Amino acid sequence: MDVILVAPAELVPALRTRCEQLGSVQAFAEADALAALDAVFASLPREVALERGFAESARGRAFLRRVTDDTFGRECLIRVVDAPVIAEPATPAQVSALGPSPADGSAADSVVAPRATPRLGVIEGTTTQIDGTTMALIDLSAEGMQVLGTLTLKPNQAVRVTLPDEGPGLRVRGRVAWATLELGGRGGPRYRAGLAFVDADRTALDAVVTRLTVLRA
């Protein structure tokens, strides 16, 4: 299975047709979100497509967090879709901001958990090197970072990271935790990804984080 789609029942036919350009599609009405979640973990599709209204709802945000946080779910790209055209994928900033909604009352909300180490926004214009390719650095912590650029990145991919620092920079090993492909913008397709640092010097990373991140009151 290439794509699992979740959308309001009345939009499923149109969105399924649009998503078929991406490959084979298994579609679920949003009322069957739990069944869709089971299908994601059973078949590990290449992409999970969520209708925008569902993706922005409390239940949809919980669904999205479950897919991106689960070890198996990291094999999937997440795409937000509009009828009748396919829109840009969800941004990691949207994912990291998601939280449970007590008013929603759905069982899926119970699996939503905040990030263990919050990432801080970096000084505007900061870049980093991933496998020798320059990418924009979006946010950073001593445990990982978010990047955006043209380098193709896939979940679980091992990468070499060079963070801006004195001299040649701080070089660490990383692994891609999640990645989404963004099709909009004048620069063409870009990959937005979250990376986790592997066996890095925590003291050195703390110093870089302090220097590069935006101070907040």
Rounded to whole angstroms, how far apart are CA atoms 1 and 94? 26
Give residue for tokens 């978010």: 146
Model confidence pTM above 0.85: no
**In the prediction, which pLDDT does 47 show?**
83
Q: Is the confidence at residue 70, as pLDDT, over 80?
A: no
Tell me whether residue 70 is exposed, middle or buried, using C-beta atoms within 10 angstroms of its C-beta: 0 to 12, 13 to 18, 19 or more: middle
Rounded percentage of the chain residues whose pLDDT exceeds 90? 20
| Bond into 84 cis (ω within 30) | yes
Residues 6 or more apart in contact with residue 33 via CB below 8 angstroms: 6, 54, 59, 60, 63, 106, 108
* Domain at 120-212, CATH from 2.40.10.220, 3.40.630.10, 3.40.50.2000, 2.30.30.90: 2.40.10.220
Number of H helices, E strands in the chain: 6, 11
pLDDT (tens digit per residue) in 125-134: 899 999 999 9
The whole-chain average pLDDT of the chain stands at 76
Q: How far is CA 155 from CA 21, 109, 110, in A?
A: 22, 24, 25
Phi, psi of 54 (to 5 degrees): -65, -45
Q: Are strands 77-81 and 47-51 parallel, antiparallel or unpaired?
A: parallel
**Per-residue confidence (pLDDT) for residue 96, from 0 to 100:** 42
Same fold, 3-111 and 120-212: no
- Mean pLDDT score, 176-199: 79
Strand, helix or coil for residue 26: strand
> Domain residues of the chain, as ranges?
3-111, 120-212
d(CA 61, CA 124): 28
Residues 181-192: pLDDT tens digits?
A: 776 656 677 888
Convert the pLDDT of each residue in 96-139 to its tens digit: 433 333 333 332 222 223 344 555 778 888 999 999 999 999 88
In whole angstroms, give the CA distance from residue 58 to residue 54: 8
- The CATH number given to 3-111 is 3.40.50
pLDDT for 162: 94
Burial track 177-213 (b if 16+ CB lie within 10 A, e otherwise): bbbbbbeeeeeeebbbbbbebeebeeeebeebbeebb
The share of the chain scoring above pLDDT 70, in percent, equals: 75
Give the side-chain half-sphere CA count within 13 A for 124.
0
- Per-residue pLDDT band for 26 (boundaries 50, 70, 90) equals very high
